[in-house]
Amino acid sequence: MRSDRVAAALVRLKYIRNASDLVSEVRKKSFRVLSTSAPQTLTEAVRSKIEPMKAQVHVVREQFGEEVLGTCTVNQAYGGMRSVKSMVYETSLLDPEEGIRFRGYSIPECQKLLPKAKPAGEQPLPEGLLWLLLTGDIPTESQVQSVCMDLKQRATVPEDVLHFLDRLPHKRLHPMTQFTIAVNLLQRDSRMTEAYAHGAAKSAYWEHCLEDALTLIARLPVIAARIYRNTFHGAKHIPLETTANADDMGKRLARSLGFESTEFDELMRLYLVLHADHEGGNVSAHAVRLVGSALSDPYLAFAAGLNGLAGPLHGLANQEVLRWLLQMKEKLGGRPMTTENLTELCWQTLREGHVIPGFGHAVLRRTDPRYTAQREFALKYLPHDEMFQLVSKLYEVVPQVLEEQGKVKNPWPNVDQHSGVLLRYYGLVESNFYTVLFGVSRAIGTLSSLVWDRALGLPIERPKSVTTQWIRDHFEKRSVSA
């Protein structure tokens, strides 16, 4: 009965043609309005999706609201809640075997379908991914151009914030610490916080959140470049004129860091796309969701995500990988990169009680497709690079070592195993900085998702915790009464 009423309402709203369409529409990955004219701005496009999506959520909750989505065993509660299905996150979904899909599209599909830089770009523009994540649609060329222009206009950071960053003790503060300081400083510009203070309606939060998200995403390359040049290049900043004709985020990032090659522009585009989103449960995405659920604005929420990304088991692993690879080369001395020599050095790492960085994953059970995409880039542009050859050889060696060790659930490489050698090849050798680049990209996914959290009016997150004593009492009582 309830679903009949829902169907009738949806027919009235033109989301479906008749009640029998309801079930098939619910099964589709996105709920599209039947007749639309293509919106030109991102805000209009998101707006056009909100009511249909709310209707879809409504239908799903009506139909399946009391079904069990996942269970949580005592071991899972102690074990980082691994594979407990207890969140809904719309922008991407991770399959353990296949890897990430952004709004249903795999990485190779995104590389094929998303618009490229004119005239000869081959990698997808991050602005296109942003449109896809926010709306669920592959954008047209002109839609992507509108996002490029919008972000370019927003890509300025107040002088006093830059000067504050200039005065930080760069040699003593990790670039990720400088990065979170910067994002917190920018928080004073939050439109969402301002709107909340002026009594904005809950139904309008998403739009303020989107405003903040776009401004923050646009500003992050400027901040990243400032930190990079302050920390590693004696505060010699790249003049603004140099980036004036950089019309997309990838190129702007490359140029403001101080790199001039079009190949590096392409690498930055690819990098920003690959690292953007990895469903909702990873540390950075979950931190953004959690903090945002208290209605902390996107700046505060994203700063929390960055702090999570800065951990060595998560985003910082890319820094650790490059260090480990360089140590490995040093330990090899002049010896060749044979299977035997590399196997021995991997065992040495394990015997010292360390993880092998860039291998393993909490969810993936095969080679990360983000690794594969970077490997393809390397095969095209730097096949003879010695460090790439080391990474290639480790692809053969490490999984065997980890299998033999016997405790790792996934012996295959993840995204972080590959990024450093690409950056290093083009001269970005300062591995301490790598996670900042990861953070610039992660904003695209986590903030898109945050906009949807507000659009759907998700409540404050508050799972129930229990104590070890509670678990004992609960299950002991149960076995007595059985």
Ligand X SMILES: CC(=O)SCCNC(=O)CCNC(=O)[C@H](O)C(C)(C)COP(=O)(O)OP(=O)(O)OC[C@H]1O[C@@H](n2cnc3c(N)ncnc32)[C@H](O)[C@@H]1OP(=O)(O)O
Catalytically active residues, by annotation? 314, 361, 416
Does residue number 278 form part of the binding site for ligand OAA (CB under 6 A)? yes
CB-closest chain residue to ligand X: 360
Report, in Å, the least distance between residue 371 CB and ligand OAA: 10
Interface with ligand X: number of residues (CB under 6 A): 19
Contacts of 76 (CB under 8 A, 6+ apart): 82, 83, 84
The residue (of 229 and 278) whose beta carbon lies closer to ligand OAA is 278
Amino acid at 93: L
123, 187, 256, 282: which one contacts ligand OAA (CB under 6 A)?
282
Report, in Å, the least distance between residue 306 CB and ligand OAA: 13
Report, in Å, the least distance between residue 89 CB and ligand OAA: 11
Q: What is the DSSP string of 295-334?
A: T--HHHHHHHHHHHHTSTTTTTHHHHHHHHHHHHHHHHTT
CA distances from 465 to 37, 72, 78, 471 (A): 47, 12, 11, 10
Does residue number 286 form part of the binding site for ligand OAA (CB under 6 A)? no
Does residue number 310 form part of the binding site for ligand X (CB under 6 A)? no
404-463 binders of ligand OAA (CB under 6 A): 414-415
Q: Which does 93 bind (CB under 5 to 8 A by kind): ligand OAA, ligand X, none?
A: none
Report, in Å, the least distance between residue 79 CB and ligand X: 8
The Cα–Cα gap between 455 and 49 comes to 10
362, 392, 426, 458: which one contacts ligand OAA (CB under 6 A)?
362
CB-closest chain residue to ligand OAA: 282
Does residue number 315 form part of the binding site for ligand X (CB under 6 A)? yes
The DSSP H or E segment spanning 100 is strand 99-102
Q: What is the DSSP string of 402-449?
A: HHHH---S--SB-THHHHHHHHHHTT---GGGHHHHHHHHHHHHHHHH
Interface with ligand OAA: number of residues (CB under 6 A): 6
Count of other CB atoms within 10 angstroms of residue 194:
15
Please tell me the number of Cα atoms within 13 Å of 49 on its side-chain side.
Answer: 24
Phi (first) and psi of residue 170, to 5 degrees: -60, -35
The Cα–Cα gap between 115 and 126 comes to 9
Report, in Å, the least distance between residue 416 CB and ligand X: 5
Peptide bond into 383 cis (omega under 30): no
The residue range among 127-135, 145-153, 310-318, 336-344 that interacts with ligand X, by the rule CB under 6 A, is 310-318
Does residue number 356 form part of the binding site for ligand X (CB under 6 A)? yes
Q: How far apart are the first and last CA of the chain?
A: 39
Does residue number 91 form part of the binding site for ligand OAA (CB under 6 A)? no
Q: Which residues bind ligand X (CB under 6 A)?
A: 313-315, 317, 355-362, 407-410, 414-416
Question: Residue numbers of the site for ligand OAA (CB under 6 A)?
Answer: 278, 282, 362-363, 414-415
